[in-house]
Amino acid sequence: MSSDSKLFKDALGDLGDVKPLVQERRVALRKDSKPPEQILRERRSAATRQTEREMNPLSGEYIELVAPWDPIEFKRDGVQNGVYRNLRLGKYTVDARLDLHRHSVEMARSVVVEFIRDCIEADVRCALITHGKGEGRKQPALLKSCLNHWLPQLDEVLAFHSAQKQHGGMGATYILLRKSERKRQENLERHQRRRL
């Protein structure tokens, strides 16, 4: 007998009489409280919510509120200071505009994503979103605060800043967008031709 078997038998001997547990051969099945149709509806609903999140990457989590008269600003690393200054001063031509007045937060969220994507497809580099200041409302500057939270989440947005007075002041925001893939390719080809 091997030493492992001997050790095992000795250990069992120390336990005394060992009796097997009595088991019932029944498995308790619990009835699902939900009918199959309801389960199917819940699964479809969950799949729809997932699809909506994929189509609209902007989070709806806690949004820090901004005061109506405070400017909002953002600049990604790599954006030159002179370019950002020109955006801030309203020196770029605004090629596309979006007005969010009378939009709910959810509606604005989906419209903003669609607007930014449309701008990229149309090779728009500078856009203006008018959101208002929301003065006199229960939650002033709500859409402005949402934009301040959402725009940095979009890779297409290089920078943004509250607009100059002639474009809506603190109730509007300039947005600098990255070049479309087509424009980038054109730039690359133009610079390569110069070298030849």
Distance in angstroms (rounded) separating the CA atoms of residues 51 and 170: 34
Residues 6+ apart with CB under 8 A from 125: 92, 95, 176, 177, 179
Structural domain contains residue 14: no
What pLDDT score was predicted for residue 16? 63
Q: Which segments of 96-171 are extended strands (E)?
A: 96-99, 126-130, 157-162
CATH number of 77's domain: 3.30.1370.110
Q: Which candidate, 177, 181, 179, places its Cα nearest to that of 115? A: 177
If you search the block for the tokens 């090629």, which residue do you land on? 95
Task: Please indicate, yes or no, if residue 163 is contained in any of the structural domains.
Answer: yes
For 130, other C-beta atoms within 10 Å of its C-beta total 16
What is the pTM for the complete model shown?
0.67
Residue 42 lies in a domain: no
Look at residue 26 and tell me if it is in a domain. no
In the chain, how many domains are there? 1
Question: What does the pLDDT read at residue 19?
Answer: 72
Instruction: Give the pLDDT confidence score for residue 17 in this predicted structure.
Output: 67
Using DSSP, state whether 7 is helix, strand or coil.
helix
Instruction: Round to whole Å and give the CA distance between 89 and 80.
Output: 14
Region of residue 107 (phi > 0: left; psi between -120 and 50: alpha; otherwise: beta): alpha
Q: Kindly state whether residue 82 falls inside one of the protein's structural domains.
A: yes
pLDDT digits (tens, 9 = 90+) for 125-174: 999 999 999 887 788 889 999 999 999 999 999 999 999 999 999 999 99
Which residues in the chain come in under a pLDDT of 50?
53
Best CA proximity match to 97, nearest among 27, 36, 175 = 175
Beta bridge partners of 74: 160
In a domain, 35, yes or no: no
pLDDT (0 to 100) of residue 57: 60
Query: Is 144 a member of any domain?
Result: yes
Q: Has residue 169 been placed in a domain? A: yes
Parent domain of 178: 73-184
Asked whether the beta carbons of 170 and 69 are under 8 A apart, the reply is yes
